[in-house]
Structure formats: C-alpha cells, structure tokens
Amino acid sequence: MASGKRNHKLQEEEQSLKGTLYAVFGIGIFVIASWFAVFSIFTDRF
Amino acid sequence: MNNSTLLRVDKRDARLVMAHMYVAFAALAIGGLMGLLQVFVRSGRFELPANIGYYQVLTVHGVMLGLVFTTFFILGFQAAAVSRTSGTFTAKQRLTSWIGFWIMLLGTVMSATMILLNEATVLYTFYAPLQAHWIFYLGLTFIVVGSWFVIFAHMAKYAQWRKENKGESSPLLTYMVVANSLMWFVATLGVAAEVLLQLLPWSLGFIERVDVAITRTLFWYFGHALVYFWLLPAYMAWYVVIPKVIGGKIFSDSLARLSFILFLLFSIPVGIHHQLTEPGITEFWKFVQVVLTFMVIIPSLMTAFSMFATFELRGRELGGKGLFGWFHKLPWGDARFTVPFIGMAAFIPAGAGGIINASHQMNQVIHNTIWVTGHFHLTVATTVLLTFFGIAYWLIPHLTGRVLTPQMNKLAIIQAFTWAFGMTIMSGAMHWAGLLGAPRRSSYSTYGDAAQAMEWIPYQIAQAVGGTILFLGIIFVLIIFVNLCWFAPKGDEEFPIGEVDKDAEQTPKILENWKVWITVLVALILVAYAVPIMDIINGGPLGSKGFKLW
Amino acid sequence: MHLHRYEKWWITFGIGSLVLFLIIVGIGAFHQGHQPPSSVKTINYEQVDKVTPFNEPGLTKVSGKDWDYELVVVASAFMYMPAEVEIPVGSTVKIIATTKDVVHGYGVTGTNINMMLEPGYISEYVTTMDKIGEYLVVCNEYCGTGHHTMKMMYKVVDVNE
C-alpha cells in the first residue's frame, strides 16, 4: 500500500513539471538547430 | 536555522562589501562610456579626439568591465553571502579582506594609470609579444594577489563554521562561494605564473625573451575559468536567492552543490578551446579539451531544469493551470526576479553559441570574428550583468539600511528591458557580421573598399544603435545605484535566502569532501595540460622580444 | 541523489546531443581530415626572410604532393606578403604562413581558413578552393595601431575563361 501511495505522489509531482519538461526540450531543440546551422556553414565553405 | 546565521549582514561587514561595490560601479561607469565610444568609432561616423586611440579605449573597456567590475562585484557579493549565511567575520578575517581589497585597488590604479598613459595598449588579454609597461603587469599581479587575501578570508570563515557545526551540511550559499573561490585560486595560479615568471621580468628587462605559446596557454588555463568565475555568482543568485524572492523553495540542495562541483572540476582543464586555431598544440590535445569543455555544459543543463522547476512549482502553487499557466503567476513586477530572469533567458542563445565556439574545427567559422564579441556580450554582459544588477537592487539597500522604492523598482525593470533590447540589436548584429567574417577588436576600416568588408558596415551601424541603447541602460543603473547608496528612504531590505523543502533528502557528505574534489581537479588538469605544455617547452622555438606597436 | 524523472529525460537528451556533436566533429576531424590548423613546426622568427620557403612568399605550383599549390605568406606589422594572389578554381592549396614580429590573425573572409600566426611557429592549412570569387584576408588578432589596415586578397579565378 505504501508503495502505491508513493507512486501516486510521484505521478502528481511529475504531472506538475510538464511545463518545465517542454521548456527545457525547447531549449535543447534551439541549441541543436543553431549548431547545425553553423555546421552547415562550415561544410559549405572551403 | 543555526544561531550563527544572522538575518542582517553586520555593519562592519557591510562597509567592507560596500567598498567593493563603489569600485565596481565606478568601473562600470568608465567601462560603459568606453563601450559607447567604441561602437561610435566602428560605425565609421565618428572619430576620437586627437591622440586617443581606438585600441586604448578598447583596453580600458575590457580591463574595467572584464577584470575590475566583475572581480570587485563578485568578491563583494561573496563576502556578503558568507557573512549572511555563515555569520559575521572575525576581526582577523575582516582585516584580511580589507588588506586584499586595498591591494586590489592599488593594482587597479597602477594598471589603469599605465593604460591612460598609453603605456599598456595591449587589451585586457595582454598577449605577448606586445609588451606593456612593467607597472601594468605588476598592477595585474596585485589584483590577483589581493583577490587571494579576500577569498582566503571567506574560506577561513567557512572552515570556522565547519568546526563549530561538526557533521552538519554547510550553508548552501557559503558552500558555493567556497567552490568558486577554490576554482579562482587554482585558475589564477596560471595567470600568476604567466605574469610573475614571464611577462613581469621580461618587461623589466631581467629576461630577454618569452615563449609566446606558453604565455597564451597559461593565460587561457586561467581565461576560461575566469568566465566561470563570473558566471557562478550569478548561478548562486539563481539557485539560492531567486527561489526566496518568488516565494518558492530551492528545488534541490544536492543538485545545486553537484553542479557547482562539476563547474569546479571542468572550468579549468578546457582553456585550449580558446586556442583551437593556434599552432604549437596538436589536434589530439585540442580534441581532448573539446571533450572536457562539453562536460562543463552538463551542470548548465541541470541548472536550466532546476530553474524552470522552481518557477513551475511556485507558479502552480499560486494557481497556475495548464502547461504554461504557471509562467504568468510569477512576480513579474519585482525587479529582483525579472531582471535576473531576463539574464537567464539570454543564456539560452549564449549557451548555444558557446557550444558552437567549442566545437573543434567549427571554431574556424567564428574564431576572432565579432561573433565572439557578440557571444560574450550575451554571457557576461547580459546573463551575468543583469543578474548582478538584480542582486545589487536588494544587496545595496540591505547594506546601506535603505529600501528599493517602487519607483526605483520600476526603473530597474525598465533598465533590464532597455538592456535586453539594446543587446538584441548589438549582439545580434555582431553574431551575423561575425558569420560574414568581420573581425573582432578592430577599428573602423573598409579594407580598401573590399566588397566583403562593405557588407559588414550596416551591421556596424546597428551595433552603434544597440550600443547607444545599452549606454542608456548604464545611465539607468547608475541612477539606481546612487539612489540606493545615498538617497533611498531608510528601512530594512531583505537579503533573500531560499530554503530547501523540509521533505528534501539529506545532502550526500561526499559533496563537502574537498580533498576528493581537489584531487580529481588536479588529476584532470594534469591529463589536459601536462603533455601540451611539455610539448611546447620541449619543442619551443626561440622566444620573443617585446614589441610596442601602438 | 534523487533525480526527477523528467530531469533524467532532459539530462539524457542533453548529454546525447553533446555526444552527437562530438561524434560529428570527431569524424570530420580524425576521419575526413577536417582538423583545425595545428602545425607544430617552429622557426626563428628573426630569420624568417632568410629561410625557405619564406624567403619567397607567394603561390607556387608543386607536384607529387597531396596539394597542387603552396601559398607562402609572411605577416608583419601591418601587412601580408604577398598582398594579392590569384588561384585557379578547384585547386588544392596548402597555406604556409608565419609572422616576423607579434601575433597576427589570418582570417580569409567567407571561408574556413582562419588561423593564428605566432612568432616562432609556422601555421599550415590545406583546402580545396572550389568557389570563384574575391576573398578578403584580414588580421583578426590585435597587433597594434595599424591592425585594421592589415589585409590581403585571394582571387579564385576560372583560368579557362
């Protein structure tokens, strides 16, 4: 029972950080896009 | 709460901290004005009055803002942080701090005088074999040695706290100060070796020649840690102060400490990523340090999550619904939150740019172009600077026994938006022009009307527009500073210290075992630097005599 | 140390991206030869003018090597020798450069040729110049009062025209 309660609490907690999850992944995608943009400049130039 | 933890910083400690703040903000005023002159000159629409050189102005800008403003502000803030969280300094600790302060100030005056006399137009990186007057190098030595006195005093307070509170986990803010101070000490050994063993005796004529590659490698051993020495106090405010300001809790004490340990370990053995296009260092060792550089990104990834989590948990507590409803619930009218928040937002493009810069051969696209200038005007001159301003808005009234009035709070928010606006224009233009090849640290030039150079000029005009807006931002912050020092109404301004959630787990003891971390740090430094430095020493060419080409 | 599940996802994603970047640049560098300029050859910087190949700066056709031309450049305050060079498009060129005095930069605008020239060291870079055009070379490391006047020009031309 104790573990069931714990799981429930965990779920609740994780529910409430959904915005954070989206925000940080948004940052990650921005970083990846910028990196590949400059990488493509590098490969394009001699 | 421990009884040695005071809610107010002791008056005698406050005077010590304020001494640092006066120097810092004076440097900000001078450095900011120099920045304005630079962007004007580089727009091609303005010339400096007789006998003042662009590069002399550039040297003043870099030294005042990169070395003087940051060092004085940081050491002042760290003194306040230790005094507030670990208790008032003892007379001996305070005296040591004051001695350090005066040595740093003397050093600043010595170096500044030589720059003003045009005897040290070598920029703030003072690369050999351009040779400045020996008093300039001695002044820099004093700044570093003075800073050692100051951090030793802070670490002595920490040691005293540990002795008096055996077995307890130290106050988080003090712990962070200790991590940053240790990093600073280990890093400054490099620049101290460069100046004391090479540049100073060379400028005095005791030795004829120096190995340029060694001086640069020692400089960057210090130089990258320097940028983290700027950043970590901002992170201190983000982790410890901001949660309290918004009424929330510290997301995780252990993760905060872990990220500081990672910064301590990976800020130093990475300096060669500033030297990726240089001869004298092999591809293999460059790549080793590129990999280590990527390790130092990890604690920043952790920090991003912790910050958003703190904000989201608090925003939901205040009734924020949906995916991003919590965002609107944050106290946007409070400068102590909003100003550093804008700084955090700037770290997203700043960090992305930093990863690009450190990506081995990709560095060739942007190396020494004005992209780099644009990059660190986001990192240090926006993220760090706005966070420092956000700190100053409660720290200075706390120390002077005044309060931040609603009018000043409003001006502070206007200041931050002005800054963000001006910086978007200036740094954005710098990034684009850099991708087009425009060099950094160069006066206005059309390079014989070369077509490619003409493409840069519109961006340079945009930089002047952005720079002018930024200067307006400097004026705003100076108004607030003067107000908080001498004119604001008397009162009690809080020194906000966040608390850890009471259900939080115990902080692992290993995080406070400095012997372990210092051992790992030394090992990493040896791995990263021993072979490249031995290679340069063994295979080094005839050294260089000094040149004075300004 | 407890990590929130989402934080684990984020750190995994973040570290994964960093590893991906490192693999891409690592393969480019160590497999395809796109290394940053990292020559460890040295020279007496006071004797540059007297030492081959720097006694004759300029473009020379070579044979039996992995490149078609060698471009020898000597930098000094505040000029490059030669000041201008014409290169047939499509040629693979090894740039060999050094300085006679202080540290200079060597940035060829619009290309990946970007290297530091340091007294006592020779900087080298090999590339295939496959796009016609005029490329301005600027000194991008502060070297003194005339730093912003220091330039050179590459003219990559189609010789058949």
pLDDT tens digits, one per residue of B158-179: 999 999 999 899 999 999 999 9
Please report whether residue B488 resides in a domain.
yes
Check whether B96 has a pLDDT greater than 60: yes
Distance from CA of A31 to the nearest CA of B (A): 5
The neighbour count for residue B405, using CB atoms within 10 Å, is 17
User: Residue A35 and residue C21: Cβ atoms within 8 Å?
Assistant: yes
Residue partners of B487: CB distance under 8 A and separation at least 6: none
Enumerate the residues of chain C whose CB falls inside 8 A of the CB of residue A45: 110-112
A13: in domain: no
Q: Count structural domains, chain B.
A: 1
**Which residue would you say has higher pLDDT here, B208 or B540?**
B208
Number of structural domains (chain A) is: 1
- ipTM over 0.85? The verdict is yes
Would you call C24 an interface residue with chain A, using a CB distance cutoff of 8 Å? yes
The answer to whether C2 and B309 have CB atoms below 8 angstroms apart is no
Q: What is the pLDDT of residue B66?
A: 95
Q: Are strands C84-88 and C92-99 parallel, antiparallel or unpaired?
A: unpaired
Mean pLDDT of A12-30: 87
- Return the ∠ at Cα B217 (arms to B211 and B218), rounded to 5°: 90
Average pLDDT over residues C45-62: 96
The Cα–Cα gap between B2 and B149 comes to 27
Please write down the HEC assignment for all residues of B357-381.
HCCHHHHHHHCCEHHHHHHHHHHHH
Q: How far is C13 from chain A (nearest CA, A)?
A: 8
**Could you say which of B308, B359, B365 has the minimum Cβ distance to residue A23?**
B308
Q: Which chain B positions have a beta carbon within 8 Å of A39's beta carbon?
A: 359, 362
CB B97 within 8 A of CB B16: yes
| Cα-based distances in Å from B373 to B247, B351, B409, C106 | 36, 14, 30, 18
The amino acid at residue B506 is Q
Q: Is the pLDDT of residue B15 over 70?
A: yes
H or E stretch at C1: none
Residue B414 backbone dihedrals phi, psi, to 5 degrees: -60, -40
At A16, the pLDDT band (50, 70, 90 cuts) reads confident
Q: What is the pLDDT of residue B248?
A: 93
Half-sphere exposure in the Cβ direction for B323 (13 Å, CA): 3
Write out chain C residues lying below 8 Å of A39, CB-based: 24
Nearest to B304 among A24, A35, A45 (CB): A24
Of A25, A35, A45, the CB nearest to C112: A45
Residue B171 DSSP symbol: P
Task: Report if residue A14 sits inside a domain.
Answer: no
pLDDT per position as a tens digit, B220-265: 999 999 999 999 999 999 999 999 999 999 999 999 999 999 999 9
- Evaluate whether residue A7 is within a structural domain: no
Decide if A10 is inside a domain: no
Q: Please, is C33 exposed, middle or buried when counting C-beta atoms within 10 Å of its C-beta (0-12, 13-18, 19+)?
A: exposed
Classify residue B373: in a domain, yes or no: yes
Domain span at residue B389 reads 331-496
For position B51, what pLDDT does the model report? Answer: 81
Residue pair B56/B115 in contact (Cβ under 8 Å)? The answer is yes
Chain C residue numbers with beta carbons less than 8 Å from the beta carbon of B370 are none
What is the average pLDDT value for chain B, to the nearest integer? Answer: 96
Across residues C28-48, what is the average pLDDT?
96
Closest chain C CA to residue B42: C148
Output the pLDDT for position A15.
58
- Is the model's pLDDT at B124 over the cut of 60? yes
Using an 8 Å CB-CB cutoff, list chain B residues near A29.
none
Round to whole Å and give the CA distance between B494 and B247.
13
Q: Is residue B213 part of a domain?
A: no
Q: Which of A21, A32, A35, A46 to mutate to test the interface with C (most CBs of C within 10 A)?
A: A46
Instruction: Give, in order, the Cα–Cα distances in Å from C141 to each of A3, B182, C78, C116.
Output: 63, 32, 12, 8
The domain spanning residue B431 has which CATH number? 1.20.210.10
Q: What is the spatial distance between Cα B146 and Cα B142, in angstroms, rounded to a whole number?
A: 6
Which one of A20, A45, A46 has the shortest CB-CB distance to C6?
Answer: A20
Q: Please say whether the beta carbons of A34 and B375 come within 8 A.
A: no
The answer to whether B99 and B148 have CB atoms below 8 angstroms apart is: no
Helix H or strand E segment including B186: helix B172-193
Q: Is the pLDDT of residue B5 over 50?
A: no
Domain assignment of residue B390, yes or no: yes
What angle is formed at CA C21 by the lines to CA B432 and CA C117, rounded to 5 degrees? Answer: 60
| Closest CA–CA distance from residue B274 to any residue of chain A (Å) | 18
pLDDT in tens, B43-63: 998 989 878 899 999 999 999
What percent of chain B has a predicted confidence (pLDDT) above 70? 99
CB C6 to CB A21 under 8 A? yes
- Indicate whether B235 belongs to any domain: no
Q: What is the pLDDT of residue A14?
A: 52
C4 with A14: Cβ contact below 8 A: yes
Mean pLDDT of C106-133: 98
Calpha distance B92→C55 (Å, rounded): 64
Cα distance between residue B393 and residue B404, in whole Å: 7
Q: Say whether B283 and C29 touch across the interface (CB within 8 A).
A: yes
Q: Which are the contacts of B342, defined by CB distance < 8 A and separation ≥ 6?
A: B382, B386, B416, B417, B419, B420
pLDDT score, position B2: 42
**Is the pLDDT score of B123 beyond 80?**
yes
Segment B289-309 shows an average pLDDT of: 96
Least CB-CB distance to B541: which of C1, C21, C121? C121
pLDDT greater than 60 at residue A2: no
Contacting subunits of B (3+ beta carbon pairs below 8 A): A, C
At B215, is the pLDDT very low, low, confident or very high (cuts 50, 70, 90)? very high
Name the token pair of B367. Answer: 């190396």
- Cα B473 to Cα B339: distance, rounded to the nearest angstrom: 12
Q: Do B442 and C151 touch (CB under 8 A)?
A: no
- Residues from chain A contacting residue C24 (CB–CB below 8 Å): 39
d(CA C120, CA C101): 9
The answer to whether residue A6 is domain-embedded is: no
Band (pLDDT 50/70/90 cuts) for residue A10 is low
Q: What's CA B126's distance to the chain center, in Å?
A: 18
Q: Which residues, including other chains, have CB under 8 Å from residue B433's CB and lie 6 or more apart?
A: B369, B370, B371, B456, B459, B460, B463
- Joined tokens for residue B539: 């295979």
The confidence score (pLDDT) of residue B25 equals 98
Catalytic residues of B: 224, 228, 375-377, 440-441
**Residue A34 domain-assigned (yes or no):** yes
Average pLDDT estimate for B81-95: 97
pLDDT band at B7 (very low <50, low <70, confident <90, very high): confident
Whole-angstrom distance, CA of residue B519 vs CA of residue B525: 10
Is A25 part of any domain?
A: yes
Q: Is C36 left (phi over 0), alpha (psi -120 to 50) or beta?
A: beta
Confidence at residue B374, expressed as pLDDT on a 0 to 100 scale: 98
